[in-house]
Each structure stands twice: as C-alpha cells, then as structure tokens.
Amino acid sequence: MEKLIITGAISGAEVTKEQNPNVPYTIEEIGREAEFAYKAGASIIHLHIREDDGTPTQNKERFRACIEEIKKKCSDIIIQPSTGGAVGMANEERLQPIYLEPPPEIATLDCGTMNFGGDEIFVNTEKTIIYFAEEMNKRGIKYELECFDKGMIDMVIRLHNEGYIKDPMHFNFMLGVIGGINASVRDLNFLVNSIPENSTFSVGAVGRHEFPMVTLSIIMGGHARVGFEDNIYISKGVLAKSNGELVEKIVRISKELGREIATPSEARKILGIS
C-alpha cells in the first residue's frame, strides 16, 4: 500500500477562537499552525484564510502573504488553497487564489450544491463547476474534487467524460456534514466503490467522526485530512492544542496499521503533480 498523504485543514471559514482559542486567524498564526501540522507529518496544507478578526476572506494579497509565511517555515509543503471560500461569496471572489503567481500546485474544486443547515446554501451549479475546472486547467492546477455526497461523484464522472475534468482524478470525501452523506462505514464504502479505479481519494469527517472515518480511509488505501476546520477536539471533551496534535494522532494510528507517512515530494508523485 502506498504511503499516506496527510492534509492539514488548519483553519476553515467557520470555526472560531470562541470554540477553540488555538484556531488561527492572523498571518502569523496561520504560519504557526501550518508549521505544527507539517512537523507532525502533514504534506499538504488545505488553506482558508481570515482577516485578523476572524472574518473569512479570499483576498488574493492576503493569500499571498499567508503562503509566503508558510513557505518560510516549511519550504517544501504543498499548499492547497480553498476555492470554496465561505457561503455567499461570488465565483470570482472564490477563485482569487488560483490567479497567484506562481499558481498553486493544487486547489479545491467543490462538486455540488450543499444545504449547510438553517438558511445557509453553498451554491455550486454545473456551470460553476465547469468554469472553475476550466480556469484551473488553463493554469495547470490540479484539483482536489470535494464531494459531500454520491451525486457529486456522478457529476465529476459526467464532466470528466465530457472533457472538463482531467485525469488523474483525486477526490476528497467530506463525511458527516449537514446536508451531505453520513459518516458511516457503509457510506464511505459506497463512495470509494463509486470512483474510477485509477483515482486517488482522501477522507475528512466532522467532529467526533474525524478519527474513525480517517482511520477507515487508511485501512482502505485512501489518504487522510484532519484539522481545526473539521474538528477541534483531540479526544472527547478535550480541545486540541494545535493542528499538529491532530496530525500526530493520525500518524500514530497509521504507523500502527503499517502505513508510512508520505513526504511532500512523495505526495506530489502519488497525486501526479511532480
């Protein structure tokens, strides 16, 4: 079985310091948390950014400053900007980080619309997905295909067959999110068996589901995503001190299960972005 790629989802757009005071907002805090995750074993940083007061933003210059800060501390890490941004953002706002120079090696591509609870609707129409894919294709950016439900995989496969989404495809399954598929053995197995054989996949899950579902991904040959975006606890009722602590736990689990951890250079080869 190939080595495990660990993605550190270090901040997200919604989680706050009121929930866990270690959630990073500032450029310096983003750099610190990325370094903690990297030193613990993460080879990818999934990057949302905030203003200093915690407000989510997709501002290109703020992304540039955060990326420069991360690269000072871990020069070979893969940085994966989010093009999801936050609920309510327009497409052009969400896409800002892909227009950085040099372009990011990889970025997220959300593959369907989600009901996030209450009145929050995360809109990704078919035209939006195609537009984002085409813009990333122009700039040679690999996409991580964010799927919260089975129908999103079907959308990806159809757009792949129509030539918009290119091989090799890398999926990230997010489990247990309101409006999406459950975090269960049955449902993860269903998703994994629905993607093309030459694809790779990673798994993330929210809250208490994070470690069980990511462990299952490790066993199934998939990859792992952990971090404050998805879960702020290291164990029941115990707040994690850093993203690094969450990564360290997955490293221990993976090694107990006989899988070694991929370096950034090894992750690039596995994902086809070397």
Secondary structure of 192-257 as H, E, C letters: HCCCCCCCEEEEEECHHHHHHHHHHHHHHCCEEEECCCCCCEEECCEECCCHHHHHHHHHHHHHHC
Contact by Cβ (8 Å): 268, 78: yes
- Give residue 15's identity as a one-letter amino acid code: V
Secondary structure of 147-164 as H, E, C letters: ECCHHHHHHHHHHHHCCC
Give the C-alpha separation, 124 to 163, whole Å: 19
CA 14 to chain centre: 14
DSSP calls for 18-81: TT-TT---SHHHHHHHHHHHHHHT-SEEEE-EE-TTS-EE--HHHHHHHHHHHHHH-TT-EEEE
Q: Where exactly are the structural domains of the chain?
A: 6-271
Residue 170's beta-bridge partner residues? 144, 200
- How far, CA to CA in Å, does 9 sit from each of 38, 45, 55, 95, 161? 11, 6, 17, 18, 30
pLDDT at 110: 98
Cis status of the peptide bond prior to 168, with omega within 30 of 0: yes
pLDDT at 89: 96
Give the C-alpha separation, 180 to 183, whole Å: 9
Token representation of residue 131: 């537009």
pLDDT at 95: 98
CATH 3.40.50.11540 applies to domain 6-271: no
- How far, CA to CA in Å, does 206 sit from each of 14, 47, 118, 144, 152? 12, 17, 18, 18, 18
Per-residue pLDDT of the chain (274 residues; tens, 9 = 90+): 899 999 999 999 999 999 999 999 999 999 999 999 999 999 999 999 999 999 999 999 999 999 999 999 999 999 999 999 999 999 999 999 999 999 999 999 999 999 998 999 999 999 999 999 999 999 999 999 999 999 999 999 999 999 999 999 999 999 999 999 999 999 999 999 999 999 999 999 999 999 999 999 999 999 999 999 999 999 999 999 999 999 999 999 999 999 999 999 999 999 999 6
Q: Specify the pTM.
A: 0.97
pLDDT at 274: 67
Residue 78's beta-bridge partner residues? 44
pLDDT at 68: 98
